[in-house]
Amino acid sequence: MGSKRKGILERLDAGEVVVGDGGYVMQLERRGYVKAGHWTPEAAVEHPEAVRQLHREFLRAGANVIQTFTFYCSEDKLEISGNVKGITFFEHVEEAVWAVEVLKTSGKTIGATLCISPHGDMDAVPPGECAVRLVKAGADIVGINCHLDPLTCIRTVKLMKAGLDKAGLKAHLMIQPLGFHTPECNLGGYVSLPEFPFALETRAMTRWDMQKYAREAYNAGIRYIGGCCGFEAYHIRAIAEELAAERGFLPPASEKHGLWGAALEMHTKPWVRARARREYWENLLPASGRPKCPSMATPADE
């Protein structure tokens, strides 16, 4: 018989780095399997192979955890009514506490993440207090999910950690941010941007952005590091590559990827071969290629 597979809490207790997966809803919408606006997961039944393929891509990229494609899987949303007022994100810590209290009765490990900014939840409850409430309710893992970019989410998780430390509480930290740059966003997150949801491509983060994110998250004490909307398989591979030394291995997808552009040494053009080094990609500021593109937008909630 094979050895028993370790659970997520067992891994985190042992100090392991757990790499999460990326975003499903946006990826499957772009591939023609999800309707924007409804964002419902009927593709899991209508086109299960499409969902399996995305799971495979995240696994090959290095994800330890694969989440079920069940976003908006509730009776009211599955009616395809077009109603988007009852958003299922946890933006109020009080709601998340209720969920944790109910889930605790299952006896299973509970990870609770909030869609909040460094300013706190929609009731202005600070991140540190949010974390304390979740842990006191029974959460084993707490953190941030979606709505804002990686570096903003790291700031929020740091505030959560500070709150837990001050209260003398312990919990593992988890982060699953957006795969887009959203520096001008606040409480409303990226859904308030004029580019949401069909023109976010110019805000997409590079693989090098993701390596920086992975390192900063790790240095902040976060050990469950993944992504949400906008995170593609190559982003997850970047996380896995950045933390390969800590994990002890590279993901299968790295077989086709030279670290820090190393494979460019085989290119026919000398100026491209010169880019086969870490310093080049770490210091590059990518251009948008759009001459009249503004550097910032005005969120609709401001």
Are 214 and 243 in contact, with CB atoms under 8 Å apart? yes
Rounded-to-integer distance, Cα 60 and Cα 251, Å: 6
Query: Residue 32: which residues within 8 A CB-CB, separation 6 or more?
Result: none
Annotated binding-site residue? 153: no
Q: Can you list the alpha helix ranges (DSSP code H) found in 72-147? A: 75-78, 93-103, 127-137
DSSP letter assigned to residue 6: P
Give 271's contacts (C-beta < 8 A, 6+ positions apart). none
* Residues 6+ positions from 195 with CB-CB distance below 8 Å: 202, 203, 297
CA distances from 71 to 12, 28, 88, 187 (A): 25, 12, 9, 21
Residue 228 annotated as part of some ligand binding site: yes
Closest CA to 27 of 197, 141, 218, 251: 197
Rounded to 5°, angle at Cα 147 from 50 and 108: 70
- Is 130 annotated in a binding site? The answer is no
106 secondary structure, DSSP code: G
* Spatial separation of the C-alpha atoms in residues 24 and 1, rounded to whole Å: 34
- Binding site for Zn(2+), residues? 146, 228-229
Residues contributing to the annotated binding site: 146, 228-229
